[in-house]
Chain A
């Protein structure tokens, strides 16, 4: 695999992993320390980097006094992080087998442990992003093995999933997260999540227009 393609694919895998993890559960000390120490990751959180509370408090205090409170407000109490709410006229969440993404997950043997993830349905934003992470990881492995046809098929699924699901509803939710965030951390997270989803859709659209030919797709 070419080096630039490898770098791009690895970045996609890592960013999906990071934003899905942060939108699914509260941040822990280990992950926060990792974000603060890694300049590349920290560059996604420019407001948080300069936030006075981040500079003056320990990771533990920051999490307990601010970040967990904000996570609870934004992702558990006041906003709705489930796709079905945004796609149904009755604004209800579909927690059963008729969930729009459940069939797709089943087709790819993607199992969602709802209890473990502490979500009510598979169309939670964190779960949908994790599904994209798993797809990107599989695409990366296929490219490493020079199985370009398989990689192209996976990229096609990624494109369709973004188009029909995440791009359709996630910006509506994330814009409200950004507007209502009480901490610089979740403000930046919402911003980077929107920008990344849209830029990844841009990348996949280019790849699609080039018939999923990786040589052209990365230019």
Chain B
């Protein structure tokens, strides 16, 4: 075996071990530090998973709702996949004041929907418990947004 063969063998070994490392990483346990930082749940992911699901916040934020809220802040983006629109809206935030304004828009919409829920609960008492639960969730969602502001922007 000459030196050329040895180098080729080393190259093959390194390629194989790199491949094995990748295969062994399917559970995400051996991601690099840089990748791990990228995957770290920031406020964007936290808000998406806590506020956007109707089952958690009691409110359905549609694509048009996102577009309308953004337009109130003189921001405009195209109708797209809902999650992507949400990300675009969040990525627009550059300063604590921007975040405050975004939270203000979410809160306005939440309050508007809760007023409608209260009206239905009053006119249709059999549904009161269902609407009350939604209102509770919505109030918690507002508090969560305030908490995100304090934790990430102050």
Contact = CB atoms under 8 A, between A and B. Distances in A.
Given A163-B130, A176-B65, 19 more contacts: A78-B63, A85-B54, A87-B55, A91-B54, A167-B127, A167-B130, A172-B54, A172-B58, A172-B60, A175-B60, A175-B116, A176-B62, A179-B64, A198-B123, A198-B127, A199-B124, A202-B126, A204-B126, A205-B126
A94 to B, nearest CB: 13
A180 interface: yes
Contacts of A205: 126
A90 B62 contact: no
7 contacts: A79-B62, A91-B52, A91-B53, A163-B130, A172-B58, A201-B127, A205-B126
A201 B54 contact: no
A16 interface: no
Sorting the interface of chain B by its residue count into under 10, 10 to 19, 20 to 34 or 35 or more gives: 20 to 34
Q: For chain B, what secondary structure do more than half of its interface residues adopt (helix, strand, loop), or is it mixed?
A: helix
B79 interface: yes
Nearest to B129: A163
Contacts of B41: none
Chain A interface size range: 20 to 34
A78 B62 CA distance: 8
B124 A171 contact: no
Interface in B97-126: 113, 116-117, 120, 123-126
Please name the 4 residue pairs, one residue from A and one from B, whose CB atoms are nearest each other, closest first. Answer: A205-B126, A198-B124, A172-B60, A86-B54
A205 to B, nearest CB: 4
A140 interface: no
Contacts of A167: 127, 130
A87 B113 CA distance: 18
Contacts of A206: 126
Interface string B39-67: 00000000001001111101110111100
B49 A168 contact: no
Contacts of B117: 171
A194 B121 CA distance: 12
Contacts of A169: 54
A201 B126 contact: yes
A89 interface: yes
B130 A168 contact: yes
Contact of B113 (A85, A91, A168, A175): A175
B124 A201 contact: yes
Contacts of B113: 175
A88 interface: yes
